[in-house]
Chains A and B, each alone.
Chain A
Amino acid sequence: MASVVQNFMKLFRGSSGGSETTTPAQASQKLTRRSSGLGEAARSWDTEQTLCILDLGATSAANIRYFTERGHKIYSEDLLTASTEPSLITKDDQGNTVLDSRRFLADNLVYPAAHFDVVLCWNLPDYLDESLVKPVVGRLWSVLKPGGMLLAFFHTRDAGPDSPCYRFHIISPDTLEMQRIVLRKETRRGQTGAVPTAVSDGFRLQRVFNNRHIENLFRDFISIKFFLARDNVREVLVGR
């Protein structure tokens, strides 16, 4: 699986000069999309019971409002931004530049076991550095309660390497508003920084997972459900 993923990464790196810039108009533009995966997950939080929800996307006031209005507890942790921390950069046994996953997990996703009912990953796995993906999914398995669920979005190959990274705002049980993420100055690392493939002002798609890769990534979970969307995105709802 790793070689296939690396080939995709090479393909993507080679096909773009990485010089794309986002105009202010693009950054502020909000797109609306239907989400079957979200709709399915939403059935679980339409309950009197207080749920513990972890949002791993860029901080969203809309999501905080959405869940707190329903009496749930929400935790916000922007893992993608956290992964741009320069001190995470290290070398592996072959001398390749990687991010230190142990250090990353010592500072992030530090919660008691079986703490959350729902984890909203959004498109995190597609944009997270290769060295962090599996360790992060492993940690998410441990902080999810048995019976809990995780929602993640994966691009299909047709989406293309320059697919912008979005922040997701929940505006109804099956509708999302998407806003292109523009990195703050201090998180723009360029080619020598912690996000080797980042374009000048946003996160860059790192790879494309096919269905088998996704099943393999979540093999410790008990169920997995795929929803193919029109915008070249595969939504995945995983049960712990």
Chain B
Amino acid sequence: MAMPVSGELAQLGKSVVIKGELSGSEDLYVDGQVEGSITLKGNNLTVGPNGQVKANVEAKGVVVQGKLEGNIHASDRVELRKAASVTGDVTTQRISIEEGAYLKGKVDIQKLEGKPEAKAAPAK
């Protein structure tokens, strides 16, 4: 299941290398290298199959197809696809992990106040 795109989408191709703080108010697709931090409050981050991210990430939703080293704080959901490699703690309401994905870290499922208890989604 693809992360729903909310509004515009910015893309960083696989030859792009960025070091520093990355923030924005649109969805972001990273297929290159990012080192630092990524803040997309209310928007989604997708790390593409060639993406290599070394950053703490704060976003609404995070989809990882490549490699991510850093803590993920997603207010909605996290998806780890089959080739994903994540090293860091994950804090989210919902998480789905495909078979073959690699995760090293703590998973903290946070319940949203006023809504039924959030659950980790099953593997696909």
List chain A positions with a Cβ less than 8 A from chain B. 59-62, 64-65, 68-69, 73-78, 81-82, 179, 182, 184
Q: Is B13 an interface residue (CB 8 A)?
A: no
CB distance from B51 to the nearest CB of A (A): 15
Residues of A within 8 A of B103 (CB): 59, 76, 78
Question: Given A68-B109, A184-B83 in contact, is the A62-B104 Cβ separation under 8 Å?
Answer: no
Of the residues A65, A75, A82, A184, contact of B120 by C-beta under 8 Å? A65
CB–CB B83/A64 < 8 A: no
What number of residue pairs across chains A and B have CB atoms under 8 A from each other? 58
Give the distance in Å from the alpha carbon of A59 to the alpha carbon of B123 in the complex. 10
> Which A residue sits closest to B80, measured CB to CB?
A59
Q: Is the CB of B107 within 8 A of A74?
A: yes
Instruction: Determine whether the beta carbon of B102 is less than 8 Å from that of A78.
Output: yes
Q: What are the 5 closest A-B residue pairs judged by CB atoms, nearest first?
A: A61-B123, A65-B120, A61-B97, A68-B109, A59-B103
* 4 more A-B residue pairs beyond the given contacts A65-B121, A78-B103, with a C-beta to C-beta distance below 8 A: A64-B107, A75-B106, A76-B106, A76-B107
Which chain A residue lies CB-closest to B86? A59
What is the interface of chain B, defined by CB distance below 8 A to chain A? Answer: 80, 83, 95-109, 117, 119-123
CB-CB under 8 A for A68 and B106, given A59-B101, A61-B96, A184-B83: no
Q: Give complex CA distance A14, B100 in Å.
A: 30
Give the docked Cα–Cα distance between A60 and B107 (Å): 12
Contacting residues, chain A, for B97 (C-beta < 8 A):
59-61, 64
Chain B contacts for A73, CB-based, 8 A: 106-108
Contacts of A179 in B (CB 8 A): 99
Can you sample 27 A-B contacts with CB below 8 Å?
A59-B80, A59-B97, A59-B101, A60-B97, A60-B123, A61-B96, A61-B120, A61-B123, A64-B95, A68-B108, A68-B109, A69-B117, A69-B120, A73-B106, A73-B107, A74-B107, A75-B105, A75-B107, A76-B103, A76-B105, A76-B106, A78-B102, A78-B103, A78-B104, A81-B102, A182-B100, A184-B102
CB pair A61 B122 closer than 8 Å: yes
Minimal beta-carbon separation of B96 from chain A (angstroms): 6
Separation of A69 and B122 alpha carbons in the complex (Å): 12
- Residues on B with C-beta less than 8 A from A74 are 106-107
With A179-B99, A184-B100 as contacts: A61 and B106 at CB distance below 8 Å: no
Q: Which residues of A contact B120 (CB under 8 A)?
A: 61, 64-65, 68-69
Question: Known: A68-B107, A68-B109. Contact between A59 and B122, CB under 8 A?
Answer: no
B residues less than 8 Å from A61 (CB atoms): 95-98, 120-123
